[in-house]
Amino acid sequence: MDVVPVFEEKWTYKPFSAHVDEKGNIYARGSQDMKCVGIQYLEAIRRLKLQGVTLRRTIHVSFVPDEETGGVDGMKAFVKTNDFKNLNIGFALDEGMASPTNEYPVFYAERIIWQMHIHCPGHPGHGSLLLENTAGEKVAHFLNKLYEFRKTQQQKLKENPNFTIGDVTTVNLTQVQGGVQPNVIPPEYILTVDARISITTCLKKFEEMVNKWCSEAGQGVYVEFEQKQHLVTPTKVDNSNSYWIAFKSAADELGITLRPQVFYGATDCRYIRTVGLPAIGFSPINNTPILAHDNDEFLNTATFLKGIDYYQKILEKIANLAGYFKKNEKRLKM
């Protein structure tokens, strides 16, 4: 299954051995993200079938490639096909995230991803000189602006106790290219910036701000976009969404506390929402440190098994949702 790479020497146990320690913790890459959820879906459906449960709606379970590398050849491509359209999907469930508290996060939207290359050209020359208009000076000016903005977002997060990281915009310098040898001032540096923009931010104003930083940094500085997403309409988590009502009803019967929020990363949900379908991200993992993509990723066996029970209840509630079946409102996708 689709998981990220490992640094085996950093793990206590072999990352693909699924070692279970004395506390019942399963150590394995993908134990939280997201082999667990795929297996839980299948086992919950198996139990419903064994119990002879009849559902009003069809449940489709999809396993697609490349989610960890952007989903370009996976869900992004799949939602554009006739095969997907012919499934006649009404609602989708996808992965969520572990929670270190007793609450369960439920994700109804995702931040907007902009990945930018900032080109900073300048006067090249010998490293012993004090040349004007160098690429490095422009880099310094741009990064000062970037990190000033970053501090405003950190402050916003600190000042709002109800905020999560998904409620603010994050900007991070992730790559720097340029230079040929220590004594040569390079003709250009290229900065790569990963921005995850909050869904309440005006994208036009954000782009104007980045362009202003470029113009202020110096002559010839410009932004090139590797990825520039638009705002995808969030899934409603209120009484106007009958699927949410069914999901919430199941959670209430299970006695679990949900916390709707904006996902800070990216999942395949964004492609499903892009084609106009409601989608919720949920993983039944609480009281567990968030270790997706980390060393020593683990999931406790009791938490894993409890999650299957949760999905049984949730799937039955959603797939038995009554009411008038409009076109594209007949089936549940996972």
Q: What is the DSSP string of 143-205?
A: HHHHHHHHHHHHHHHHH-TT--GGGS-EEEEEEEE--SSTTEE-SEEEEEEEEEE-TTS-HHH
| Whether 67 is catalytic | yes
Given the residues 2, 103, 194, 296, the one annotated as active site = 2
Going from the C-alpha of 239 to that of each of 200, 244, 257, the distances in angstroms are 22, 7, 17
Residues 242-254 as b/e (b if ≥16 CB within 10 A, e otherwise) read: bbbbbbbebbeeb
Residue 332 has φ and ψ, to the nearest 5°, of -110, 135
Given the residues 22, 43, 66, 67, the one annotated as active site = 67
- Residue 213's H or E segment, with its range, is helix 203-217
Q: Is 9 annotated as belonging to a binding site?
A: no
| Whether 208 is catalytic | no
Q: Is 68 annotated as belonging to a binding site?
A: yes
Q: Is 293 annotated as belonging to a binding site?
A: yes
- Reading the block at residue 52, the tokens are 């002879």
- From CA 128, how far away is CA 186, in angstroms rounded? 13
- From CA 48, how far away is CA 135, in angstroms rounded? 63
Q: Is 95 annotated as belonging to a binding site?
A: yes
Give the annotated binding-site residues for Zn(2+). Answer: 33, 68, 95, 293
Give the annotated binding-site residues. Answer: 33, 68, 95, 293
Question: Which residues are marked as active site?
Answer: 2, 67
